[in-house]
Amino acid sequence: MRCRCGKKAVFHSKVYRVTLCDECYPKFYLEIVKRSIKRYNILKKSEKILTCVSGGKDSCAMAYALKELNYDIELFHIDLGIGEYSRESFRSVEELSEVLDLNLNVLKLKDYGFTIEDVERRKVCSACGIAKRYLMNLFARENGFDVIATAHTSEDIVNFFIKNMLSGNIEYISKLRPRIESFDRFVAKAKPLFERTEKENATLVLTLNLPFTQIECPHAPQDVWKEIIYDVELKRRGFKQNFVRAIVKLAENLKLDWKVKHCKICGEISNTDICSFCKLRSTYGVLSNQS
Ligand code: SF4
Ligand code: ZN
């Protein structure tokens, strides 16, 4: 297949009805990210944006796009202490910060008294999510960032939606909007890639030869729902992107109901007297050693 410019194609999409080469694809990618950001008011040029990078392809694509679109960004990475996976992820984000000439901020979970490897196996991903959300919010607020950008893709949003619907967790759906504004001690959150697919992100980073890790986290669960979403996409092209737009419409019509309480230990926002992060610290880390 040939690109419209005549060169050999690297990307073909029936959804966008385009066939593009390695030179035309990055321009197309930037254009569709720019369109999403504008249409859904996801980010502003005046904002200082903390861009979360894990070392994987999606956050690598996000960092590249935001930099190229002239947003004011710095990178942020959390070392979770998951053996070779964390070491390799750190190497990738360090290289990415050099290639893109962006400041890289790093927090080590072990400095807060525990690592993901200390957590019981069946609770690992839940603990990891709690730690990441807590630390990125804390770091962003304490360092004057206006908004935190994460690289959730259309597959992630559809996946979250299905899982939360099935477990009756309807309130969670309201959080699946592309941007949640700041309040109290909560810094605004943005998902500039919510309409993008993993394939689009992978094509970008491979085409531009950007550094990212292909090592998967050893705790990554087998995700049956993601496989089902891919199967449906094969039968019905555009399913993910159409579905994600419908989810966002629904989310924006639901009220975001924050019950603002503050943790009695750290003072951060919490639904309960002690926040989930302090509970983790008291179970696996320093707070337990102090008691
Ligand atoms: Fe954390 Fe690994 Fe689970 Fe992802 S798969 S949430 S990085 S422990
Ligand atoms: Zn707390």
Q: What is the pLDDT of residue 75?
A: 98
Between 86 and 284, whose confidence is greater? Answer: 86
Say if pTM beats, i.e. exceeds, 0.75: yes
220 close to ligand 1 (CB < 6 Angstrom):
yes
Q: How remote is the C-alpha of 121 from its chain's centroid?
A: 23
pLDDT class for 285, splitting at 50, 70, 90? Answer: confident
Query: Which atom of ligand 1 has the smallest separation from the CA of 128?
Result: 1
154: part of which helix (H) or strand (E)?
A: helix 154-166
For residues 28-45, average pLDDT: 98
At 279, list the tokens.
């509970």
In a domain, 265, yes or no: no
User: What's the sign of the alpha-carbon dihedral 271, 80, 161, 47?
Assistant: positive
Task: Average the pLDDT over 105-115 and give the result.
Answer: 95
Characterize 191-225 residue by residue with b for buried, 16 or more Cβ atoms within 10 angstroms of its Cβ, and e for exposed.
Answer: bbbbbbbbbbbbbbbebeebbbbeeebebeeeeee
Sequence-ordered alpha helix ranges (H) in 167-238: 170-173, 198-208, 224-235
CB of 143 closer than 8 Å to CB of 49: no
Identify whether 285 is part of a domain: no
pLDDT at 291: 43
Q: Which residues pair with 20 in a beta bridge?
A: 11
Whether the CB-CB separation of 119 and 282 falls below 8 Å is answered with no
Instruction: Supply the pLDDT for residue 62.
Output: 98
Between the CA of 280 and the centroid of ligand 2 the distance, in Å, is 9
Q: 109 CB under 6 A from ligand 1?
A: no
235 within domain boundaries: yes
Residue nearest to atom 8 of ligand 1 (CA): 125
Nearest CA to ligand 1 atom 7: 217
pLDDT value at 290 more than 60 = no
pLDDT digits (tens, 9 = 90+) for 68-102: 999 999 999 999 999 999 999 999 999 999 999 99
Q: Whole-angstrom Cα distance, residue 159 to residue 71?
A: 29
The domain of 234 spans: 41-258
pLDDT for residue 274 is more than 70: yes
**12-35 residue pLDDT tens:** 998 899 999 999 999 999 999 999
| C-alpha span between 145 and 142 (Å, rounded) | 8
Residue 115 forms part of a structural domain: yes
Is 53 inside any structural domain?
Answer: yes
Ion ligand 2: residues, CB within 5 A, are 263, 265-266, 275, 278
133 lines ligand 1 (CB under 6 A): no
- If pLDDT is split at 50, 70 and 90, which confidence band does 259 have? confident
Ligand located closest to 79 CA? 1
When divided into structural domains, the chain yields a total of 1
CATH no. for residue 77? 3.40.50.620
277 is a domain residue:
no
Residue 289 has pLDDT above 60, yes or no: no
pLDDT of residue 246: 96
Cα–Cα–Cα angle for 92, 95, 97, rounded to 5 degrees: 110
Centroid of ligand 2 to alpha carbon of 85 (angstroms): 27
Average pLDDT over residues 166-182: 91
Residue 9 CA to ligand 1 centre (angstroms): 34
* Ligand 1 lined by 157 (C-beta under 6 Å): no
| The pLDDT value given to residue 64 | 98
Question: Residues 89, 213: contact at Cβ < 8 Å?
Answer: yes
93 Cα: distance to centroid of ligand 1 (angstroms) = 17
Percent of the chain with pLDDT strictly greater than 70: 98
